Amino acid sequence: MADAVEYVFIGKITRTHGVRGELKVLEGEGCSGAWRQLAEVFIGDDPSKCRPYQVTRVAGGGKFAILGLREITSMDEANCLRGKEVFVARDQLPEPEEDAFYADDLLGLAVENVAGVRLGKLVEIFDNGAHEVYVVRQGARELLLPAVEDVVQGIYPDEGRIVVNPPPGLPGLDES
């Protein structure tokens, strides 16, 4: 039996672009852009309900990409994909550089301080314009940790954890 495909979330289709069926994609937080070189994407409501499409063109920069697909050639066809999510097969992405990670590889990891005290689980990563921010949740408590060298001391996906040295006075840190 073949192994199941592992998908990585790339972004969401926000609208059509032009009359030839191109799509405007808002890339997800932490998206490296490595997907832009791939020949195939998967589109659907979630990874279990997606289908493959052949990429003919990717253009644009920043958080938005214009995506052309061989199977979609009109604005009406493109409109049917509005609001859908875009994924790629994990095994098609290049390996990240040393000490770099795909966001999907970090989500769900335990976050602990340098003393080994569990602070919660990494549930989201977003960019605030200056740097990425890790959203760590434990119960009702939510911490927003700047993903900068002084704070993030180590990332160990194989061990299922991230070690941080939170800045003093961080809101939510001293709450029970």
> Which of 5-14, 68-77, 146-155 is the least confident region?
5-14
Q: Can you give the pLDDT at residue 100?
A: 76
Q: What are the structural domains of the chain?
A: 7-92 (2.40.30.60), 103-164 (2.30.30.240)
Residue with the bigger pLDDT between 121 and 47: it is 121
Query: Is 1 a residue whose pLDDT tops 50?
Result: no
Return d(Cα 91, Cα 93) in angstroms, integer.
6
Span 94-114, pLDDT tens digits: 887 777 787 878 889 999 999
Span 37-46, pLDDT tens digits: 889 999 999 8
Order of all β-strands in the sheet with 141-146: 141-146, 132-138, 118-127, 110-113, 161-164, 152-156
Query: Is 66 a residue whose pLDDT tops 90?
Result: yes
Confidence class for position 5, pLDDT limits 50, 70, 90 = confident
Return d(Cα 81, Cα 19) in angstroms, integer.
14
